[in-house]
Every structure is written in structure tokens, then in C-alpha cells.
Amino acid sequence: MNKLKVGVLASGRGSNFKAIVQKVDNARVEVLIVDNPDARAIAIAKEFDIPCKVVDRKKFDDKFSFEREIINILELYKVELIALAGFMRILSSNFVERFKWKIMNIHPSLLPSFPGLNAQKQALDYGVKVSGCTVHFVDAGTDTGPIILQSVVPVLDDDDPETLSARILEEEHKIYPFAITLFAQNRLIVDGRKVRIKDV
Ligand code: GRF
């Protein structure tokens, strides 16, 4: 079987990266790119023998040359899908356009509620009774692209951001690998704002 070539971009812990590596059978993570030399994701790449490149934003004069370096690496590894997994930077519209509907992201809320940073705290502060996570294609906005999959979890009265995040994270580790599996099966069709999932 020809496996889909995936490039993962991460900035931190890397638990979604690990879930993708462990759970997606029809795709292969060819390279991990981190923008942060201290990202814990680097150790996970080592554990699974996946090439890891550190592209430190501080070493580049501007966003354009920083992204150019990322693109060079993605091209070198012939990446067909880019998975953002806790990547803490907004990609330029040029970058997004270049890989149109070939970039996915996972966000820890039920979009379009609570985009941006600290989504779990935003949900708690608002007082919602359910929250969850969303896998979406990336467009030029922040957490605004067409939604692929969502999963719902309850918000409990005694939740704090940590307990809610942990409950949501369990679901992230299920739906992100599943979304990539569907993409690798060519089953995701973007139709305006809607992503249709083709039957097999
Ligand atoms: C996750 O909560 C994800 O939804 C958000 O950033 C966090 C990354 O966690 N985009 P990890 O690095 O995958 O463990």
C-alpha cells in the first residue's frame, strides 16, 4: 500500500503527533517540524525514528523566510498533507493558499465557539455545558476553515481548565488520526464551508 506522506508541525508537547504516528495505518509521518528547540515533541520523533527539523523563528529575519524554510523541508520530504498539532503560529495566507485543503488543524473547542488561545478556559468562563474538539482544514483565518470532524465532551461543574483539557485531549487523540485516515482514503470533499465524507 502506498502510504500518504504527512508532515507534522508542532510547538510543544506533541501528544497529537504521537497519536497520529501510532494510530494512522494508511499514512506515514515523514517529518516533524518544530519551531521551538525545546518542544517535547522532538523526543517523540526520536522514539519513533522520524526525522525532526527545528526551524527556529528567531533565526529568520521575517515570516516569509521562516515559512520558506518550512516549505523547503515539506517539499524535500514530498509531503502530501500537513498536520498542525499544537503549532503555535499563524501561517501566512500565501502558505495556506499554496497547500490549499492540504493543511489540517486540531482545536480544543467546538468551533466556531472559542477560537484562538486558551479555548478550554474560554469555554469554562462562558459556562457552556458541553465542549469538545474540532479537526478542520486550515484557511487564511484563525480556526475558521471547513470542519472535518468534531467530538463532544460534557463540561462538569467542578471542572478547571486542566480537567476539561484532559477530557478533550482524549477525544483529540481519536478524531485527529481518524480525519487523517479519511484524507488518505481520498474521502474528504471540500464543498464551500462543508466537508463531505464519501462512503467507501
Ligand atoms: C491540543 O490541545 C490541540 O488541540 C491544540 O494544542 C494542543 C496541543 O497538544 N491545538 P499536543 O502538543 O498535541 O499534546
- Band (pLDDT 50/70/90 cuts) for residue 200 is confident
**pLDDT score at 199:** 95
In angstroms, rounded to a whole number, what is the distance separating the alpha carbons of residues 111 and 131? 9
Kindly tell me if the per-residue pLDDT of 52 is higher than 80: yes
**pLDDT score at 25:** 98
Kindly tell me if the per-residue pLDDT of 1 is higher than 80: no
CA of 150 to the centre of ligand 1 (A): 15
- Band (pLDDT 50/70/90 cuts) for residue 41 is very high
CA of 168 to the centre of ligand 1 (A): 10
Residue 143, ligand 1, Cβ within 6 A: no
Residues in Cβ contact with 117 at an 8 Å cutoff, skipping those fewer than 6 apart: none
**pLDDT score at 17:** 98
- What average pLDDT does the chain have? 98
State which of 8, 9, 13 you would mutate to test the pocket of ligand 1, scoring each by most atoms of that ligand within 8 A of its C-beta: 13
140 and 149 Cβ atoms separated by less than 8 Å: no
What are 135-158's pLDDT values in tens digits?
A: 999 999 999 999 999 999 999 999
Kindly tell me if the per-residue pLDDT of 101 is higher than 90: yes
Domain 4-197 sits in CATH at 3.40.50.170
**pLDDT score at 175:** 98
**pLDDT score at 31:** 99
Whole-prediction pTM: 0.97
- Band (pLDDT 50/70/90 cuts) for residue 134 is very high
CA of 186 to the centre of ligand 1 (A): 25
Atom from ligand 1 closest to the CA of residue 19: 13
Please compute the mean of the pLDDT values over residues 157-181 and round it to a whole number. Answer: 98
Atom from ligand 1 closest to the CA of residue 84: 10
Kindly tell me if the per-residue pLDDT of 63 is higher than 80: yes
Annotated binding residue 90: yes
- Band (pLDDT 50/70/90 cuts) for residue 118 is very high
CA of 136 to the centre of ligand 1 (A): 14
Annotated binding residue 88: yes
Active site residue 173: no
